Structure 1
Amino acid sequence: MNLARKVLAMLSLIPASSAVADATHYPLTVMNCGQEIHVSSAPDRTVTVGQSATEILYALGLEDRVVGTSVWFNPVLPQFRELDADIERIADNDPSFEGVVNRKPGLVAAQYEWHVGPTGSVATRDQFHELGIATYIMPADCDTKDNATGGDGTRTAAFSTDSIYKGIHELATIFDVQQAGDTLVDDLEAREEEAISRARDLDLPDDLSAVFWFSSPDGSAAPYVAGRLGAPGYLMDKLGIRNVIQSDEEWPTVGWESIARTDPDIIVIARMDRRRYAADSVEAKLEFLQHDPVAREMSAVKNGHIIEMDAHAMSATMRTIFGLETLVDALSTLSFDR
């Protein structure tokens, strides 16, 4: 039974009095990423701009409210594959403003502020609000983060999975499915705690270091690597791994010569279906690491300490918890004899 069906089954067991007590009172006002949003009733038509919002709505059992999706990095989670096949994918990457509006949504749920924000690549929030369409941006992309700095933004404090759980609870409240939100958060928190506990049992070296490589514009360009305060920074912090990249930017570009000088013990590379940049594919990343005269001399490459991870888990999303599990599983197979 997939997660959405489990949630719905659990909801059917909740006493009516409890369900009424937890019901959302409309009209609802929520402070979201610095703006008040107003929802007059539970949205019956939602367009998602970002895989994170899509999969959270699916996990809350709200797939019947989703009329279009966009911005995908990885295949949808296996438990949602069947239901996702019946929902229109407006675009693999950025949708057009018209493409979103034409679906007549009551709500646009976005993963990144740069898609739907002050300078949104799809549209600004005001443009949607002028048409009576509410917007919701996942808090993980704006809590403890300044997106006005350009690029992928700069973290003002370390990412925490609390922002993921906050987004789940707020979406559950907007759609009046609070019990489903509680169930999902409980499951994710349990998985997070279990992965961290397993990592402690691995007895990893105290001075273990890593770099997370998302992609590169072309073969000769400096790669996009994870800064110290984003989701990969959280993953490393929970496992006691030092990030060799100390920037507060979400995904700074750092030259391979600089990375090689830090000689990380582990290189984590993003696996994705997207093909926007030359190094999006795992194959291109591995080819570079094994043949570039600078990169191939790093200890992680020589020792085969290269870990693949879903790109979506490297972003501040529900899948970050799954990325924690991926990292622990991979580390359990590696030897770090010094």
Structure 2
Amino acid sequence: MRRFALLLLSALALAGCGAQPATQQAATPQPATQQAGFPVTIENCGRTYTFDKPPTRVVTGYHPALETLLALGLQDRVVGRTNFSESAFLPGQKELYDKIPEISPTIMLPQKEVMLSLGADFVLDNSPASFDAAGGYATVEELTAAGAPVYLLGGWCSPEKQLEFEIEQIFTDLRNLGAIFGVPDRAEKLITELRARLDDATRRVADRPKVRVLATDGGKGPVNAYGGAGLTNQLIELAGGENVLADVKADYTEVNAETIAAADPQALIVSEYATLRGEPMPTAPQKAEEAFAIARNSTAARERRYLALPVAAQHPGYRNVLAVVEIAEFLHPDAFD
């Protein structure tokens, strides 16, 4: 997914049948009756949308987007979702996932012809990769013409913006989605619950020594790893860790074995997949052993200390906050006794 996210963004102005640019909306006569709480105007990726009514035919891309809507109780609005077989589901969500039609056998949105035939009135994803014409996907412009505005989670509007991720963006997304779908009370309730969990975890680890962490996605050299910018780095820092690759100003990148050997991590976070595009992937224990072999003199290797983190938690969405708590409990177990 990280490699997909490095594709160039087709950043085009959006409009839709359910959403129109605010500048156009001002000139559009309002209907005689208007649903309570509407129209609603929000901004996303430099675009401004005004929604006259909640979307009812939603298509979601990579699974963290669907997870976020399910957390808001909006499964009845979703008419299509992509395949998710990469890692574990959040509790209670597998049953809801199974009831939604699958429109793509991969984590990516379907090809253009299929996508445009779905009659969507809203598209939610967390990567610009699914809108790249070079890959055969419907562009943002084409979806605009079909009446389906696109919202990208986490501020992941471009590869450069990925490096600027802040956890606050998740709360902004939840508040925006609550407004768009006419369920602001649900969104505020969820935000309050998540913020309480995040604040509790960060308070518990605030005064404890930082644990030196290597976040790896496997490899014997070069190693696929997470540098000192972006989402995974922020999860580590909020959880009371220190990224041993903090000086590598990248999100997902390749690092030579010599750098890993010299990093001396005290613990590993290992990206966990079940499959990727239907193909079996190396397991988290296998990838941990690869890192231990490279950094064989490290504390992490001596103690065989690692946390398998579902890769979906390393992409923008509702479960990012849950991941901070999980990592904090792993790095500082005594703080949670």
TM-score range, shorter chain: 0.7 to 0.9
- Give 1:235-250 correspondences, 5 Å limit: 235-245=235-245, 246-250=247-251
> How many percent identity over aligned positions?
24
C-alpha contact (below 8 Å) 1:51/1:111 kept by paired residues = no
- Alignment partner for residue 196 of structure 2, among 174, 185, 190? 190
Tell me the TM-score normalised to structure 1 length: 0.78
Task: Tell me what 1:315 maps to.
Answer: 315
The Cα shift of 1:223 comes to 2.6
Q: Which has the higher contact order (CA 8 A, sep 6+)?
A: 2
Task: Tell me what 1:95 maps to.
Answer: 109
Matching of residue 37 in structure 1 with residue 49 in structure 2: yes
Matching of residue 205 in structure 1 with residue 209 in structure 2: yes
Amino acid at match of 1:284: Q
Task: Tell me what 1:228 maps to.
Answer: 228
The Cα shift of 1:38 comes to 4.5
Task: Tell me what 1:107 maps to.
Answer: 122
- Give 1:271-286 correspondences, 5 Å limit: 271-275=272-276, 280-286=282-288
* 1:98-139 deviation digits (Å, cap 9, x = unpaired): 333333211111111232368777332111112122211114
Amino acid at match of 1:191: R
C-alpha contact (below 8 Å) 1:209/1:241 kept by paired residues = yes
* 1:231-268 deviation digits (Å, cap 9, x = unpaired): 22222222442211122322121122211111111111
C-alpha contact (below 8 Å) 1:43/1:65 kept by paired residues = yes
**2:131 alignment partner, SS class:** coil
Tell me the TM-score normalised to structure 2 length: 0.78
Assess, with a 3 A threshold, how the Cα gap between structure 1 residues 269 and 121 changes in structure 2: closer, same or farther: farther
Assess, with a 3 A threshold, how the Cα gap between structure 1 residues 280 and 191 changes in structure 2: closer, same or farther: farther
**2:150 alignment partner, SS class:** strand
- Give 1:242-281 correspondences, 5 Å limit: 242-245=242-245, 246-275=247-276, 280-281=282-283
* 1:277-306 deviation digits (Å, cap 9, x = unpaired): 88653143134235x4x3434331122221
Assess, with a 3 A threshold, how the Cα gap between structure 1 residues 296 and 333 changes in structure 2: closer, same or farther: same
The Cα shift of 1:191 comes to 0.9
Task: Tell me what 2:155 maps to.
Answer: 140
Assess, with a 3 A threshold, how the Cα gap between structure 1 residues 184 and 116 changes in structure 2: closer, same or farther: farther
Task: Tell me what 1:18 maps to.
Answer: none
- Alignment partner for residue 93 of structure 2, among 66, 69, 80? 80
Report the Cα distance in structure 2 between the residues aligned to 1:273 and 1:121, rounded to whole angstroms. 26
Report the Cα distance in structure 1 between the residues aligned to 2:196 and 2:115, rounded to whole angstroms. 36
C-alpha contact (below 8 Å) 1:233/1:243 kept by paired residues = yes
C-alpha contact (below 8 Å) 2:274/2:280 kept by paired residues = no
Unmatched segments (≥5 aa) in structure 1: 1-21
Amino acid at match of 1:78: P
Amino acid at match of 1:122: Y
Assess, with a 3 A threshold, how the Cα gap between structure 1 residues 41 and 109 changes in structure 2: closer, same or farther: same
The Cα shift of 1:325 comes to 1.6
C-alpha contact (below 8 Å) 1:30/1:38 kept by paired residues = yes
C-alpha contact (below 8 Å) 1:118/1:125 kept by paired residues = no
C-alpha contact (below 8 Å) 1:42/1:175 kept by paired residues = yes
Of residues 29-38 and 277-286 in structure 1, the stretch that sits farther from structure 2 once superposed is 277-286
Report the Cα distance in structure 2 between the residues aligned to 1:113 and 1:316, rounded to whole angstroms. 12
Task: Tell me what 1:9 maps to.
Answer: none
Report the Cα distance in structure 2 between the residues aligned to 1:183 and 1:317, rounded to whole angstroms. 16
The Cα shift of 1:36 comes to 2.9
The Cα shift of 1:174 comes to 0.9
Matching of residue 329 in structure 1 with residue 329 in structure 2: yes
RMSD after superposition: 2.8
Amino acid at match of 1:24: G
Report the Cα distance in structure 2 between the residues aligned to 1:101 and 1:34, rounded to whole angstroms. 23
Amino acid at match of 1:266: A
Assess, with a 3 A threshold, how the Cα gap between structure 1 residues 316 and 331 changes in structure 2: closer, same or farther: same
**1:296 alignment partner, SS class:** coil
Report the Cα distance in structure 1 between the residues aligned to 2:36 and 2:133, rounded to whole angstroms. 32
C-alpha contact (below 8 Å) 1:140/1:317 kept by paired residues = no
Unmatched segments (≥5 aa) in structure 2: 1-34
**2:185 alignment partner, SS class:** helix
Amino acid at match of 1:270: S
Of residues 227-236 and 163-172 in structure 1, the stretch that sits farther from structure 2 once superposed is 227-236
- Give the number of equivalent residue pairs: 297
Report the Cα distance in structure 2 between the residues aligned to 1:105 and 1:238, rounded to whole angstroms. 37
Assess, with a 3 A threshold, how the Cα gap between structure 1 residues 254 and 23 changes in structure 2: closer, same or farther: farther
